[in-house]
Structures are given as structure tokens and as C-alpha cells.
Homo-oligomer: A and B are copies of this chain.
């Protein structure tokens, strides 16, 4: 069932100008509104809050000062009513899931530590009680969680197991005589680790452990466990340590926890998806242990969704600062003796910043779609198993791309601003350090992409639905094992290649939307088909051999998943164009979308060549075409970053304040005056001329 390669022929005359409306102008306000999206009101409120100095990161604090400040800021968020949108109305929330995430992710611009600490309290700890607990649990604990009377932890990860949650080793054994669960940490690797709020502030925790009753292990369940007394001392049987300094996010007190025969009431089991009766009988509304496990873990998805959004916001901040600076900063004279070039007029600088700007737009539009999907599921409007699985896969596809993009963009912007970029006052290095861990927490990016690959294979052929080659995360395998084949979402994407491929064999330009779509789709389709072919036989092999076969294709699996995720971003960008009403804005955004698509093709050009999708001759036109696109986008770069809507209170970067422009103007004025007085200080040619004159004079003398 390997797909036949489609071969769209492309013709891009290398020297002919692009036939577009070169006079296009961006309507910055309208584009800004479009970027704010469906939850614009939430975002506006959150941005107003995030602009308040009370929640800003103060650089250079010691980690204990920073921790204390973040803790206080959490109380500030409560007072500002900024963090209760997702909770039930009867408890003072507003049952608004999309709006909650939209607002929450904007907090990253104030201080990523604050964002993540808030995420631990309300998005993980609180959400676990909300989604895994009963109404009784809600009444007992949610008010205290919401108002910060109970700062808490989400104690899932162990030192020995991060992404492989099913393998955690903490146990919760039911003791029917006492009507209690006994939580226990059997060995060092089973300590809970990297747990936010654990080192200091956590009064309670939702602890994930293997539930054992009547001698049967029913798998991972969540328990509400009190950790510390009023004075902040660990309760009996509980111990822990501080994770210490981290590469970033030092406003959060991450730490380790362990439990020695710690007893909690039976009713502290968050029992929505699994309950134990007084006699130790286990019951669950979900028969399959695998499906139960992933339903319980489903609450985690909102973490990934919000990291995706926060990463996009960080990229936007970085690009606004770097692009603003790049149109003020001048280096090296070219044509004129007096005036040096602004950085963004250099091809290299355009190549460094504009493709990342395009990718950030793509990630932003894709994130809005993810948020829609998330809201649909969590509001209950579109909450089938399939919807949940689509949401999981979409989040797993987009979060790796956006978090890696943020690090890459922050670093490129930092380097593009030279020494100034390295100063903390310009925030690139600080944001980069804080966002670093976004690539591996709430699901390691590479593990998430393998989950996506597994889903692509399962959608491709029924055969792969229940496959267990072992090398793929148990996480991935088990999830896929429980789902039914369907044709929504991802499958549609693959389908569309077949639909359009046969019709479009004639020569079309790379700028053509359908050509880009065909090339990007075709790659995903073909990679998945090839992988399916290579892995098909493995199922019948003994486990060790099957694992080896899978391992031999691990990199290709990840590449296929990545290609798929990029396609989703491209499609989201393209869909957004249809919603861009102003013609000039749509024109510029279309160039930007083309830049995004063509850069993806350029990055993977060897694949297109090896697989006969592009001829060598056509491929050679791609680079020059991209360079011409850069020139077209260049005049709109400032408008495009202004549309992100972040003000000086969000940017807080010394080089984004116009200070450079002022310095340049002053320097130029001075150089002009010096030149007018016949005394240019910085011109090499003048030096040579004057040297020659002086030599002549001295010879004459």
C-alpha cells in the first residue's frame, strides 16, 4: 500500500519579479485583533495584568528571593481574579477552558516562573482535583486551592521515570482494616522529582502511585496527600529535598518527595475513574486499564496546550525586540560614505529573522486551532474519545515545534543583537534560560513526536493500531491500542494528497498555495507509507527482534511526525489567510505564509530531490526565490511584529525603546559636522588621502 510519489512540476523563473501588489500595507490593528483570536478578551485582561510591575521578573534576585516573590505573586493573581476561569461556576470560576489557557499563557511575558508556578497550582494540582476527584473532593479542597490557602504539588514524575509515567514505582496499598491507603516509596529511583512547590511551599499534593488492593495492582491512580503542617514541616513519613538551582525558572521551588508508609484516608483517592470500596473491592467506569490510565492522564494535556501558547508568546517578544533594533542599528558602510546600513537590510539578517517570524505566525495560528480543540473537549461540546485523542495528538505535535522554535528564535535574536543581545536588560538570555525546560517537561518533545508518529501509523493502516514493538514508549503504544480507527482530523490531511495529487501534474509555481500543500502533504504521506512498509513485518517477529526493527527507524518516525506537525502549522496559517479581510494585510501574510512553506521545503530539500518530487533544476530556483520573498517582506517586518500587540511594559528591553535610533542619529549628526569641518574621524579612505597629502607636504617641506 505504499503511495506512488506524485511529482508536481514547478516553474519559478529565477529572474522574473513576483507579480503581487507591491504597494500592500498591513492593517496593524486588524491583524492584531486577528492574532488575539477568539479569546481576545481573556488575552487583553491577562496582558494588562502582565504589564503590572508587581508581577514582573526582577533579574538578579537570589533563588530564595525569587521564590518568595513568585509565591506572593500567586496571591496577587488570586486577588486579581486572574486564575479561576477554568473552575466551576458554583465555586467562583466561570467554566471557561479556552479563555483560561489563553489568559494563563500570556503570563509568560511577566515571568515564566510565575506562569509555571501558577500552572502547577491551578493547572496541574487544582485541575487534578477538579478532573479526577468527586464533587465531595471539589467542595473539600478546591476553595483552598483556588484561593491559595493550600499551595500544592502535582507529584507524578519520579527520578527513575519521567516520560514513562506507567512505570512509576510509588505504591498506594489499601489497608481495609484501617480504611486507609498506605503510600510508600520503595527505593531511591521512585522518589518524586522535579516537583514544583515540593521544596518549600507545598502544603498538599496530588500523588500518583500504583493502586494495590486485595493483592492486585490496578495501575497508576491519583491520591490527595497532605505534606506539611502549618509551620511548613513535613508530616510523619514524608521527606524530601530541594532540587536546587536550575537552568531557569528559579522562582519555582522544585524538589523531591518520598513517602515511608504514609497513611491517608481511603476517600483521599481521587476516584472519578477508579474507586475502592471499604472492603477493598476495586471498581471503575472504564474497564480497560490502559484507557483508564490515559483518561486520567488526559488532564495533563492542558499543560502542553499552554506551553505551546507560552512558547509562541516568547517568540513574539523576541522578534519584536530584535526586529525593532534591526531597523535602527547600523553597521558597516556600503553605498554611502556617511550612512551605515541598518541591519535588516543585510540579506543575512533577513535570513536570520524573517523565516523565524513566519514560523512564529504559523505557530500562533496553529495554537489558536489547538485552543479551539481544547475548549471543545473540556467544555464538553466536542468530547468524544476521538476528540480527546485528536486533542492529545495535536498538542503532542505542536508543543515540540513551538518550544524548540522559541529557543531557536530567542538564541538567533540574541546573536543577531550582538553584545547587546547578551545583556540581561534585553531579556533574550533570561527568557531563553526559563523556556529551555519547556522542551522536555509536560512530555519530552521527542517522546511526544513518537506518540504522533504512532498515531500516523495507526491512521495509515489498521494493522498498526494495536502494535507493540516495545521501543516506542509504552505510553504511546498503550494509548494507540485502545482507540478505534476513524477518519477525522489527521487522516483527512493524508487523504487530501490523494485527492489533489492526480489533478495537479502540470507546471505550477512554488508560490502556488496548492503546490506547497501538495509538496508538504506528499512528504508526510510518503514517509508514513514507507515506514509502514518497513515496520509491517516486525509484528510477527519475537519481541527483541521487533524492537530492533523499530529502533532502526526511530529517527524516521520522529522526522515523519515533525513533517506532519509542520504541515498542520502551514494549514493553520493558510486557513487564517481566509479570515484576513484587509487585502493589503492578506497580501503580506500570504508572502509570509509562502516564506514559511518554502523554508520548510528548503530545509528538507534533499528529501524532495531523492524522492523525485523536485528536479535539481527547480530546486536551484528555491533559494533565490526565498531571497526575493525576504525583500518583499522586509518593508513590513516592523508592522508584522507590532501586530503582536506587546507594549513596552511587556517587552521591557532596553534596545527596543528607540534608544539605538537616538544614538545613531546623534552619531550621524556628529559625523556630518566633523566631515563638514574637514575632519572625519572614522573614514578609512580619507585617512589614506590625507596621509598622501601629508606625505606630499612633508616632501615639499
Q: Are the C-beta atoms of A437 and B424 separated by less than 8 Å?
A: no
Verify if A647 is at the interface (C-beta below 8 Å from B): no
Cα distance, A549 to B526, chains bound together (Å):
39
Verify if A91 is at the interface (C-beta below 8 Å from B): no
User: How many residues in A have their beta carbons less than 8 Å from beta carbons of B?
Assistant: 128
Verify if A3 is at the interface (C-beta below 8 Å from B): no
Verify if A347 is at the interface (C-beta below 8 Å from B): yes
Find the B residue at minimum CB distance from A331: B164
Verify if A414 is at the interface (C-beta below 8 Å from B): yes
Cα distance, A242 to B553, chains bound together (Å):
53
Verify if A446 is at the interface (C-beta below 8 Å from B): yes
Q: Are the C-beta atoms of B663 and A189 separated by less than 8 Å?
A: yes
Q: Are the C-beta atoms of B422 and A440 separated by less than 8 Å?
A: yes
Verify if A161 is at the interface (C-beta below 8 Å from B): yes
* Closest chain B CB from A444 CB (angstroms): 6
* Closest chain B CB from A473 CB (angstroms): 5
Q: Are the C-beta atoms of B440 and A415 separated by less than 8 Å?
A: yes
Q: Are the C-beta atoms of A436 and B429 separated by less than 8 Å?
A: yes
Cα distance, A619 to B612, chains bound together (Å):
12
Which of B248, B348, B428, B429 touches A554 (beta carbons < 8 Å)? B348
Verify if A140 is at the interface (C-beta below 8 Å from B): no
Find the B residue at minimum CB distance from A611: B616
Contact pattern, A 307-334, Cβ under 8 Å of B = 1, otherwise 0 = 0000000000000000000000001111
Cα distance, A219 to B445, chains bound together (Å):
53
Of A245, A348, A558, the most chain B CB neighbours within 10 A belong to A348
Find the B residue at minimum CB distance from A695: B287
Q: Are the C-beta atoms of A612 and B606 separated by less than 8 Å?
A: no
Q: Are the C-beta atoms of A544 and B682 separated by less than 8 Å?
A: no
Verify if A610 is at the interface (C-beta below 8 Å from B): yes
B residues less than 8 Å from A230 (CB atoms):
none
Q: Are the C-beta atoms of B606 and A681 separated by less than 8 Å?
A: no
Q: Are the C-beta atoms of B62 and A62 separated by less than 8 Å?
A: yes
Q: Are the C-beta atoms of B60 and A60 separated by less than 8 Å?
A: no
Find the B residue at minimum CB distance from A345: B551
Contact pattern, A 519-550, Cβ under 8 Å of B = 1, otherwise 0 = 00000000000000000000000011001001
Verify if A658 is at the interface (C-beta below 8 Å from B): no
* Closest chain B CB from A692 CB (angstroms): 10
B residues less than 8 Å from A351 (CB atoms):
555
Contact pattern, A 162-190, Cβ under 8 Å of B = 1, otherwise 0 = 11101111010000000000000011111
* Closest chain B CB from A616 CB (angstroms): 5
Verify if A441 is at the interface (C-beta below 8 Å from B): yes
Q: Are the C-beta atoms of B446 and A419 separated by less than 8 Å?
A: no
